[in-house]
Amino acid sequence: MTRFVLVTLALLCLQANAKSADADVMKVTLNVNPIRRVVTMLQSMQKKVAAEGVKEQGLFDKFMCYCKTGAGTLGASIASATNANEQLAASIKETAATLAQLKLDLKAAQTDRADAQAAVAKATALRTKEAAAFAKESSELSANIAATKKATSAIESGMGGAFLQTNAASVIKKLSVSMDMSAMDREMMTSFLMQGHGQESDYVPASGAITGILKQMLDTMEASLATATSDENASVKDFNALVAAKTKEINALGAQIESKTSRIGEAGVELVTLKESLEDSQKSLAEDSAFLKDMATACKTKEAEWASRQTVRAEEMVAIGDTIKMLNDDDALELFKKALPAASLLQLKTTSRATKGRALAALQQAGQGDVRLNLIALALKGKKVSFAKVLVMIDDMVALLGKEQNDDNDKKEYCERMIDTTEDNLKALELRVSDLGKAIADHKEGIASLGEELEALAAGIKALDKQVSEATEERKEEHEDNTETLASNNAAKELIGMAKNRMNKFYSPKLYVAPAAPAAAAFVERSGVAPPPPPETFGAYAKKGGEATGVVAMMDLMVADLDKEITEIETEEKENQSEYEQFMGDSAGKRASDAKSIEDKEANKADLEATLVATTEEKGAKTKEAMATAQYLSEVHGDCDWLLSNFAMRKDARAGEIDGLKKAKAVLSGADFSLLQKAQVTRHA
């Protein structure tokens, strides 16, 4: 330190003390080398720098501990989340596969149940038709058997002529045409039956042969009735067994469908839950990874800052140490003593009352009612005041006000940033909730529309199945009617041919075609005795050739009509069958198309329902998040609005307080006598 600096300091102190107007005057003579004071201050600085280094070292160690612990914790969390994500992805894949299989199983069960129900309906319709046919056949056979028995009994009793006038004879006449028998037997029966209608015949068959034919017919009809009854009983048994088996199958498939439907719903909910869990876990993993990366960057930055800080502090400590060493050297002290010989002759005058008055005025002007400044003012009003303590209080107060202003600045910046960010988030959430509400309405409308379309398609398939069933029944009835009509027409043609041939045998022998040897000729000689010759009754018979020609011509017309009808029926049958096959093909295509549409729409409906559930849950979550954000924004406003509205006023008031404190410190610093010798104080009136 040069002589000029020391002298300047001394003059400044004298000038400050000269301004005092107080009556009390203190006279102090310097007795301490000024360089010692400087060394003491440097040593105090050295201690503060070292203390700050120790304190900051503790803070840095804590930060590094946080980096290591936080990195380990986040690493474990990331590893756990990664493992959980893999497990969730596997679970989602497995659940999706299970859900798809359940849907396939449900569809198969529904198809099997529909097939079983259709089989039962088809078997029931067939059984009803067979039962009706059996009842009809059984009734006819029973009536024919009864009539045959009556005829046999009547002939055996010698009442053949009377029998021919009964209704039973009419039945036998029909049977003689429809039943399968030899031409000779049919001719014999016809000749026998024609006696009751005034027809003349030159031969009356023996009653034994007629009885044999009737018994053969009876045996045939009874065998047919027994066979029909046996077939009916077997059909009933088979039908009952089929219905029982199909009913059991339908019940089992119904239970399976209910179980599959329930499991599909549960699997769908589980799949949505797993996907949401995976999404949340992936989001958490991304946040943890980003935080770990940011923390690593922050820790690395902090280490660099700490290294730089340590370097600067070391340089500062070296500079202070070198300065102390330079000033505290014995040769330097001797030099300064020689360089400042007049310092001990300086006398300073000051008044403590004036100094305290100026300091109090500065504090009162800046305080504006601050209780913390009032404490310093109260200390200055005391009689035994220590300026050193007051200066420390002022320094602490200035530092505290500076810290409060920095806190207000930080909080103002934080409040403005948080309010803007939170308001933006709230607007985004409200917009998202509105969009989700619209999406939910659209999903519900789509589901309702698909439901209506599915009902319409199901009703269409049901109506189509009914039409197919009705068309099938109608086609079967038409086919049976046509077959029966063709059989009747062909039988009629055959009968007409037989009749025509029989007439030709009599009227036109050249046109007669002899039938094959009758297989039932044994019945003629059944008794082992030749039949007796007919009795003589009439003379030679005159043939009615002209009338026979007319009859034959009429038969030919009848055959022509039958041929025409047969051709028409065959043509109609072919056309009806073609139309039926075309209708069945079109119906099958339409049903397959509608079934495919139902499957697609059911899949779309299930997807929409799953999306609706997810969207509804997301809307609920976003609504809660928006409410929480609004609540948080309200809390931020509650915490920040007062500061934001009063920030400028608080900043100005705090600046005024700091300015007043600095003025008070400047005033009090002028009364610091630590560099002067104490002297006796002389009071003046």
288-312: pLDDT as tens digits: 888 888 888 888 888 888 888 888 8
Q: Structure tokens of 67?
A: 């980096």
More confident: 22 or 232: 232
- Name the residue among 454, 614, 607 with its Cα closest to residue 103: 607
Q: Which residue has the higher pLDDT, 37 or 530?
A: 37
Query: Which of 150-159, 210-219, 255-264, 524-533 shows the lowest mean pLDDT across its residues?
Result: 524-533
Residue type, 466: K
Question: Which pLDDT score, from 0 to 100, does residue 515 have?
Answer: 66
Mean pLDDT of the chain: 75
What is the pLDDT averaged over residues 2-31?
Answer: 37
Q: In Å, what is the CA distance from 127 to each residue of 113, 202, 237, 239?
A: 21, 52, 11, 7
Quote the percentage of the chain above a pLDDT of 90: 7
Asked if residue 585 has pLDDT above 50, the reply is yes
User: What is the signed CA dihedral for 6, 9, 13, 16, rounded to 10 degrees?
Assistant: 150
Q: Determine how many CB atoms are found less than 10 A away from the CB of residue 658.
A: 17
Report how far residue 604's alpha carbon sits from residue 596's, in angstroms, rounded to the nearest whole number.
12
pLDDT band at 96; cut points 50, 70, 90:
very high
Lowest-confidence range among 273-287, 343-357, 436-450?
343-357
Tokens at 146, concatenated: 């009864």
Of 411-425, 443-457, 531-545, 570-584, the one with minimum mean pLDDT is: 531-545
3-class state of residue 196 by DSSP: helix
Mean pLDDT lowest for which of 23-32, 105-114, 377-386? Answer: 23-32
CA geometry: angle 42, 43, 45, nearest 5 deg: 65
Task: Tell the burial category of 214 from Cβ atoms under 10 Å away from its Cβ (0-12, 13-18, 19+).
Answer: buried
**What's the one-letter identity of residue 205?**
P
Residue indicated by tokens 């029926």 = 569
Report CA torsion sign: 497, 499, 505, 506: negative
| pLDDT for residue 534 is more than 60 | no
CA distances from 381 to 64, 354, 360, 363, 471 (A): 49, 12, 8, 12, 121
Residue 585: burial class (beta carbons within 10 Å; 0-12, 13-18, 19+): exposed
- Report pLDDT digits (tens) over 599-622: 888 898 899 889 989 999 988 998
pLDDT of residue 351: 52
In whole angstroms, give the CA distance from residue 278 to residue 287. Answer: 14
Answer with the residue of higher pLDDT: 358 or 64: 64
> 413-445: per-residue pLDDT in tens?
888 888 889 889 989 988 989 998 998 998 888
What pLDDT does residue 588 have? 87
Partnered with residue 347 across adjacent β-strands are 29
In angstroms, the CA 122 to CA 116 distance is: 10
Round to whole Å and give the CA distance between 175 and 350.
165
Beta strands in 312-414 (DSSP E): 347-348
What's the CA gap between 288 and 578, in Å, rounded?
A: 74
24-25 and 682-683 beta bridge pairing: antiparallel
Please list the residues that pair with 24 across neighbouring strands. Answer: 683
Contact 214, 155 (CB under 8 A): yes
Pair 660, 367: CB distance under 8 Å: yes
Instruction: Of 20-29, 183-192, 471-480, give the range with the top mean pLDDT.
Output: 471-480
Q: What is the rounded distance in angstroms from the CA atom of residue 183 to the CA atom of residue 513?
A: 12
Single-letter code of the amino acid located at 66: Y
Helix (H) or strand (E) holding 341: none
Q: Is the pTM of this model over 0.75?
A: no
CA distance 124 to 415: 83
CA gap 275, 366 in Å, rounded = 65
